[in-house]
Structure 1
Amino acid sequence: MQKLRVGIIGAGQIVETAHIPAYIKHRDIVELTAICDINEEKARHMADKYGIAAYYKDYQDMLKECKLDAVSVCVINRFHAQAAVDALNAGCHVLCEKPPAMNYEEALAMYEASKKNKKILTFNFHFRHAQEIKILKELIDKGMFGNIYAARVQALRRRGIPGWGNFINKEVQGGGPLIDIGIHMLDAALYLMGFPEPDYVAAGAHQRIGNRSGVGLMGSWDPAKFTVEDSLFGFIRFKNGATLNLETSFALNMKEESIMNVHIFGEKAGASAFPLEVFSETDTALTNMEFPYLQEIDKRYESIADFINSCVYGKKPLYKAEESLIIQKIIDIMYKSSETSQPLKW
């Protein structure tokens, strides 16, 4: 069997900690062919360190010269869409880091390029691969929860403003905690709920802590360059009557250092994902079910492995390209709702 020829656009931290290791572990079916970065020296270093045959400064040159089958897009958010569309138009399957894009219009262009070229487009929403989410999804699909009519998602940090990269720059990131960490828990909740169609969305974003100096648990930041929200609180009502509350922050005056969780509430049972607990009842008593022996898995590895298997064996990826349109539109509307101080129709 001919190996899947893979190229990587970007040579940052996520590439070295997740993408390269996952592709190397699949060396029996994957050939890690090329890597590129606008910092050519960084691309050369990665190529030398991991035995990648070719490195480039311009990904267009890589796409033209390397006859790739698949591409990982691991650049800053602002360049997700163009890199993905160009790779799809070059005949490559694409795995893109989250968020899908800066806005819905860009996400739609990516989706349309994947359909036009009949190539896979998927995204590294790796929390779907967590053991807790897998088990919850199985239980939901078996009918244990009945109709799920409410959810609450939390992606909260007490003082987790990243002191590196572009995370506080709205122009290149598109936003702050909502588009960076909140989107993970939002995606997990929507996946568990079956992606119901929204009816209207409301949100309020705040910039109360990041725009001044303070104590950081993830490095120091420059308040003068802080142009994103440091917290956002949102609400979605779906057309089936279900609701979802979202809380996300880089900085918030709360007790815990960090909370990443999804809570779902159904007619027959409810659950919290991290740690996994299911709340139900028998004829005579209320019951709590715990799962104390779940093994921690490398969620990013599982997500990239899912992409590889989809490309090589033709299986459908866990994350469908059309789902990116829903989550990107929700993100857009939450930011617009916050700006206008109004709930907005879908």
Structure 2
Amino acid sequence: MKKLRMGIVGVGGIAQDRHIPTYLTLTDQVTIEAISDVNDNTAKLVAEKFSIPNVYSHYEEMFQDVDAITICTPNKYHAEISIAALEAGIHVLCEKPMAMNPEECQQMLEAAEKSGKVLSIAYHYRYMKDSRAAKRVIIENEIGRPIVARAKALRRRKVPGWGVFTNKELQGGGSLIDYGCHFLDLSLWLLGNPKPIEVMGSAYNHLGKIPNQVNLWGKFDHESFEVDDHVTAYVKFDNGASMLFETSWLANIRDDEESLSISGETGGIDLFPLHLNQAKYGVLLNSEADWVPGEEDPSVPQAQNFINSCLGFEELVVKPEEAMQVSKIIDAIYKSSETGRSIRLQ
């Protein structure tokens, strides 16, 4: 069986903690042939740590050695690197979000269509057990037509104190574009990928500006905190469905909360954990998932799907045109917050 030759662009935390270790568990399907990073010393150390044979100062130099790349850079460079790789005939798995704005997403999508190569975005929440089972429940019409989604991605005092997460120029935003995007994507996927038509949102930048913050994920500079720390939104879709959404890095709540609830015409589901709520036979029926032991890390099925899609064996789970809808909503939330009015999407 042919193995996919992989390159990694950007070797920070997400590359070292998720993508590289995952690919190294799939050596019958993929080999990591090269890495590139703006910091040559870091790249050399990572290559030595993971026994990666080739290190390049510039990502384009690795194209001769690989069939595909995984992009783990700050958001600002997602579009530039993706387009360059696709135009060189290289498949691309890009970390979320897809890009800084919908215009860049469109350029990436056009490059993928023109090249005929695979472009996917690493929205790994779709690959979680709850998510995959919930998708099957909805496909099997267990809850009828989905109508309303309620999504929360809330962390209590957990601003990432590493990397460039609070740098607006490099990231484009904060809690919404970094964390909440996963729940926007998951919600759209479970709703059947309807098109957003109107968005009302508020993005706050208050808590991150307060000095001497209690923060469980390291120190950050409140004076240079440029991004949103808490976001709320209401989204309407072309099929009549709607979504209530909230995300935060610094929520003053009792505990972290990751939850997604979808109400359909005949039933509903709740994630995380997974519950199925129905009204049947004259009674209310509530079911809770009881998982058999097995693969828990969503990074593995995500990597397998990308590899097999590149090799022509599978269809992509996260398609670029779907990821672009997430970026359209993110962009509209920020614009709505700035203007104080709802944003209509074409």
- The two structures have a TM-score, normalised by structure 1, of 0.96
* Maintained 8 Å contact 1:100/1:324: yes
Across the two proteins, how many residue pairs are aligned to each other? 343
Counterpart amino acid of 1:43? A
Query: What corresponds to 2:169 in structure 1?
Result: 171
Q: In 2, distance between residues paired with 1:146 and 1:180?
A: 32
Which stretch shows the higher mean deviation, 20-29 or 270-279?
A: 20-29
Query: What corresponds to 1:103 in structure 2?
Result: 101
- 1:112-191 paired onto structure 2 within 5 Å: 112-191=110-189
Counterpart amino acid of 1:316? E
Among 74, 93, 101, the residue aligned to 2:72: 74
Query: What corresponds to 1:244 in structure 2?
Result: 243
3-state SS of paired residue (2:46): helix
Query: What corresponds to 1:281 in structure 2?
Result: 279
Query: What corresponds to 1:216 in structure 2?
Result: 215
3-state SS of paired residue (2:43): helix
Which stretch shows the higher mean deviation, 314-323 or 144-153?
A: 314-323
Query: What corresponds to 2:13 in structure 1?
Result: 13
Query: What corresponds to 2:323 in structure 1?
Result: 324
* Maintained 8 Å contact 1:124/1:304: no
* Maintained 8 Å contact 2:185/2:323: no
Counterpart amino acid of 1:134? R
- 1:33-72 paired onto structure 2 within 5 Å: 33-63=33-63, 65-66=64-65, 68-72=66-70
Question: Cα RMSD between the aligned structures?
Answer: 1.3
3-state SS of paired residue (1:327): helix
* Maintained 8 Å contact 1:154/1:185: yes
Show structure 1 runs of 4+ deviating over 3 A. none
- 1:187-198 paired onto structure 2 within 5 Å: 187-198=185-196
User: Shift of residue 164 of structure 1?
Assistant: 1.1
3-state SS of paired residue (1:184): helix
Q: In 2, distance between residues paired with 1:151 and 1:210?
A: 28
Q: In 2, distance between residues paired with 1:293 and 1:23?
A: 25
Query: What corresponds to 2:22 in structure 1?
Result: 22
Identity of aligned residues (%): 40
User: Shift of residue 294 of structure 1?
Assistant: 5.1
Query: What corresponds to 1:342 in structure 2?
Result: 341
Counterpart amino acid of 1:161? V
1:100–1:204 distance in 2 versus 1, CA, 3 Å? same
CA shift digits 1:256-310 (9 cap, x unpaired) = 1x11121100111111110111111222321211113354610122211211111
Q: In 2, distance between residues paired with 1:5 and 1:51?
A: 15
Q: In 1, distance between residues paired with 2:28 and 2:39?
A: 30
* Maintained 8 Å contact 1:166/1:172: yes
* Maintained 8 Å contact 1:176/1:230: yes
Q: In 1, distance between residues paired with 2:202 and 2:41?
A: 42
Counterpart amino acid of 1:228? V
3-state SS of paired residue (1:210): helix
CA shift digits 1:88-125 (9 cap, x unpaired) = 11110000000000111111111111111000000110
Q: In 2, distance between residues paired with 1:308 and 1:210?
A: 39
Counterpart amino acid of 1:298? D
User: Shift of residue 46 of structure 1?
Assistant: 1.5
